[in-house]
Amino acid sequence: MACRSGCLTQDHESWGDCLRASNIQMSTGDANSELVGNGWTNKKWDNELKLYRDARAQGIQPEGTSTAKIRKAMDVSDKTGHAFGSAL
C-alpha cells in the first residue's frame, strides 16, 4: 500500500497514482497577487517599511513597527524636539 494518509480508498498502486486520483489542484496562491502576509497589499507594506526606515534615519526608535506606533513616535519627537526612544 503506497497511498497518501488522506486517501479514502487506500487501494492505489503507487503514491503518484493516489495523488492523481485525489484530483488535488495546485496553484501559486497569493504569490502572483498584490497581497502579502495578513492580506496587506504590497503598496501598504512598502509604505509602512519606508515610514519606519525614515523614522530610524532621524534617530527615532518607535515602540513597534506598526504605522500607528511609528507616527506616535514621530509626533512625540516633533513636540519634544528630540528623537523619541533615543538616549539623551
Region of residue 78 (phi > 0: left; psi between -120 and 50: alpha; otherwise: beta): alpha
What pLDDT is recorded for position 39?
Answer: 61
Low-confidence ranges of the chain (pLDDT < 70): 1, 27-40, 88
CA distance 74 to 45: 19
Q: Which of 41, 40, 76 is closest to 58 using CA atoms?
A: 76
